[in-house]
């Protein structure tokens, strides 16, 4: 993948990465750096400043979506989890995204590139669009919300990613999307660099992906 197409948006400042692992994710060992970033001692000390929280919510609100309650940004959800202890371990790809999202306040999506269909594009989901986001079959209405789309429709966003493109034990290639905002200039790129460093510490080959 060389680029992710991005629809015009006055606030959106994304950053994207592609990472490939030499082994399926279930066989990849977390590095010391990643383990430290996920530790309860490290995570409990993190907080999101009000300016960052507001900027991210304003980004998601621009298309008409309401980023509150169960529909709040995933970065805010992680903050609540971290306050109770260490972040849960899922796999090194998702864990790296979660660790950086927690510390920057920017939501980060990690999807399995081999489960994505065709060309990827970032933009607002159509009114009434929805998708299943967990194994229990629960769905989220994503109308008016910035989403990653493939040929089958929206498949990830700054709130909840679609079940159909989530990573699993056999995943070896991932696309990472940092949902940045122009109200926080440069922070998405900085977050991408941090994710890249953690992934590379786990043996991944990481390539920045253009968004245009």
Which of 33-47, 70-84, 167-181 is modeled with the greatest confidence? 167-181
Which tokens belong to 23? 């082994």
Q: How far is CA 31 from CA 17, 88, 95, 123, 200, in A?
A: 19, 15, 11, 34, 9
The C-alpha atoms of residue 78 and residue 204 are separated, in whole angstroms, by: 24
Contact of 200 with 28, CB cutoff 8 Å: no
Of the candidates 15, 17, 14, 3, the residue with the CA atom closest to the CA atom of residue 204: 17
Helix pair angle (74-83, 92-104), 10° resolution: 90
The rounded distance, in Å, linking the Cα atoms of 201 and 197 is 6
At 2-19, the pLDDT tens digits run: 789 999 999 999 999 999
Domain segments of the chain as ranges: 3-211
Nearest by Cα to 189 from 171, 170, 210, 212: 210
Count of residues making up the chain: 212
pLDDT digits (tens, 9 = 90+) for 28-43: 999 999 999 998 877 7
User: What are 100-156's pLDDT values in tens digits?
Assistant: 999 999 999 999 999 999 999 999 999 999 999 999 999 999 999 999 999 999 999
Asked if residue 45 has pLDDT above 90, the reply is no
- How much is the mean pLDDT over the chain? 95
The tokens describing 102, both together, are 């927690």
Angle at 82 between CA 64 and CA 103, to 5 degrees: 65
> What is the fold, at CATH topology level, of the domain defined by 3-211?
Phenylalanyl-tRNA Synthetase; Chain B, domain 3 (3.50.40)
Give the model's confidence band at 23: pLDDT under 50 very low, under 70 low, under 90 confident, else very high.
Answer: very high
Q: Which of 28, 33, 15, 3 is nearest to 204 (CA)?
A: 28
Q: Are 205 and 20 in contact (CB under 8 A)?
A: yes
Q: Give the pTM.
A: 0.96
pLDDT at res. 46:
82
Amino acid 71: pLDDT: 94
For position 148, what pLDDT does the model report?
98
Quote the pLDDT of residue 200.
98
SS3 track for 130-156: EEECCCCCCEEECCCCEEEEECCEEEE
């Amino acid at each position: 993948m060389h680029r992710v197409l991005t629809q015009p948006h006055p606030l959106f400042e994304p950053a994207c990465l592609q990472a490939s692992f030499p082994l399926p994710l279930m066989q990849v060992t977390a590095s010391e750096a990643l383990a430290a970033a996920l530790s309860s001692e490290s995570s409990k000390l993190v907080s999101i400043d009000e300016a960052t929280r507001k900027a991210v919510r304003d980004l998601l609100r621009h298309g008409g979506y309401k980023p509150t309650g169960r529909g709040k940004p995933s970065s805010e959800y992680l903050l609540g989890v971290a306050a109770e202890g260490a972040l849960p371990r899922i796999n090194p790809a998702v864990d790296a995204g979660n660790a950086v999202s927690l510390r920057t306040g920017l939501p980060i999506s990690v999807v399995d590139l081999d489960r994505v269909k065709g060309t990827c594009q970032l933009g607002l989901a159509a009114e009434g669009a929805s998708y299943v986001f967990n194994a229990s079959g629960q769905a989220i209405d994503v109308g008016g919300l910035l989403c990653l789309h493939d040929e089958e429709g929206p498949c990830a966003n700054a709130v909840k990613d679609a079940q159909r493109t989530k990573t699993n034990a056999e995943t070896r290639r991932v696309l990472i999307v940092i949902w940045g905002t122009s109200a926080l200039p440069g922070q998405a790129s900085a977050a991408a660099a941090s994710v890249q460093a953690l992934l590379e510490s786990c043996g991944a080959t990481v390539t920045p992906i253009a968004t245009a």
